[in-house]
Amino acid sequence: MHQRPPGRYADFQEPYEPAHAARPPNSAPFIPTQRPAVPPRSEDRGPYDFEPAPRRRGKGKRILISVLVILLMVAAGTYFWADSKLRKEVDLSKVIDRPAAGEGTNYLIVGSDSRKGMSAARRKSLHTGGSAEAGQRTDSMMILHVGSNGPTLISLPRDSNVTIPEFRGSESGRIRPAMGANKLNASYAFDGPQLLVRTVEYNTGLHIDHYAEIGFTGFADIVDAMGGVEMDLDKGFTDKWSGADFKAGKQTLNGTQALAYVRTRHAFAGSDLDRTKNQQKFLSSLASQVATPGTLLDPFTLYPVMSAGLDTLVVDKDMNPYLLAKMFFAMKDVNSGEGKSLNMPVSGSVGGNLQWDRPKVKQLVDELTNDAPVTVTSDR
């Protein structure tokens, strides 16, 4: 048996070949093969550490880019879908003698008592009364100012004593004479959103940038699509006119209950002034629950909520989904304490209608127009 040459077997440079091994004649000379060079191991690398594979890094980047592209496509598609569903029926360019625009953005948010398209059974369940052909009125009106000092939400009582000024008819296009002092919601009944905007601007001096209106059905449908809205009531109350029947404490209101909550006024000593406060609380709570990751990132909740609202939302011609989202997030900030809410200041009543406190109204409008911090408060 042949013996291996001395030395470490692992370090040999060429395979061992016995001296007497026969070679075929004219065979090529033996050339020893070299082992592939092993790169020196770095001091800070362990025996099982390896450099990341470039292919894997490239594949991860491609996946990330693909996901971002898909998300952008979904967002863009959602935006254009939402924009196509908005009912842009209010042309604010036809409103005459408007005050100059100020700093920030002013939304006029309106809740109408429209029963259009509602069956008799639905009107009964929602306690709306009237008929599907009944003329429209406004149950709630609010100005939402969005600016650099936080949002301000101001309720305009529907029984406010105001002057309905000269206006251009929304359908005829003809100038109509002023109708003198009347309730604020009467302006809407006479000629719809454009006259309401004209009346609010005339009596406040505040420029309205955008208009958003929702009816009974749309309001209830949004709440139901959300799975209800949680409210914490300081005290319970009942009202046969609105169908309200609430106990004190935390509870989740469905669409029918929510509508009863925001419409109730006969159960309160302050009547319409107390109702407007409840409307502010509810809308802010609704916006807070819509503008949460649980809703915004869940398509099975987000799209039904958006569809329910957009189908019945009437807005001005310059409104878009971005501005609507801005409006909702501002109402959310009001609820979280980052903004203010108040009633239009009143000083008494005239013929049963609420008379605004004119010096305070002027101060409030000046602060909003200049986007200054709001210092005015409502005493009632």
Q: Looking at this protein, which amino acid is placed at residue 94? A: K
Single out the residue of 380, 367, 379 nearest to residue 152, CA to CA.
367
∠ Cα 89 93 95 (to 5°) = 95
- DSSP secondary structure code for residue 94 in this structure: G
Give the model's pLDDT for residue 49.
55
Give the model's pLDDT for residue 12.
46
Tell me the two tokens of residue 94: 């036809």
Residue 282: burial class (beta carbons within 10 Å; 0-12, 13-18, 19+)? buried
Across-strand partners of 163? 181
Q: How many CA atoms lie within 13 A of 369 on its CB side?
A: 14
Give the model's pLDDT for residue 132.
47
CB 133 within 8 A of CB 319: no
Give the model's pLDDT for residue 15.
52
Q: Looking at this protein, which amino acid is placed at residue 4? A: R
Tell me the two tokens of residue 131: 């008929």
Give the model's pLDDT for residue 18.
53
Cα 72 to Cα 78: distance, rounded to the nearest angstrom:
10
Give the model's pLDDT for residue 293.
80
Tell me the two tokens of residue 325: 């989202």
The pairing of strands 105-112 and 210-214 is parallel
Give the model's pLDDT for residue 311.
78
Give the model's pLDDT for residue 376.
93
Cβ neighbour number for residue 261 with a 10 Å cutoff? 24
∠ Cα 222 227 232 (to 5°) = 95
Q: What is the mean pLDDT of each run of 10 residues along the chain (380 residues)?
A: 51 50 55 57 54 65 79 79 89 96 96 67 62 64 95 94 95 92 92 96 98 88 91 92 92 93 88 87 88 80 84 91 92 87 92 92 97 86
Give the 3-state secondary structure of residue 92.
Answer: helix
**283 contacts: CB under 8 Å, gap ≥ 6:** 109, 142, 153, 262, 331
Cα 168 to Cα 172: distance, rounded to the nearest angstrom:
8
pTM of the model: 0.77
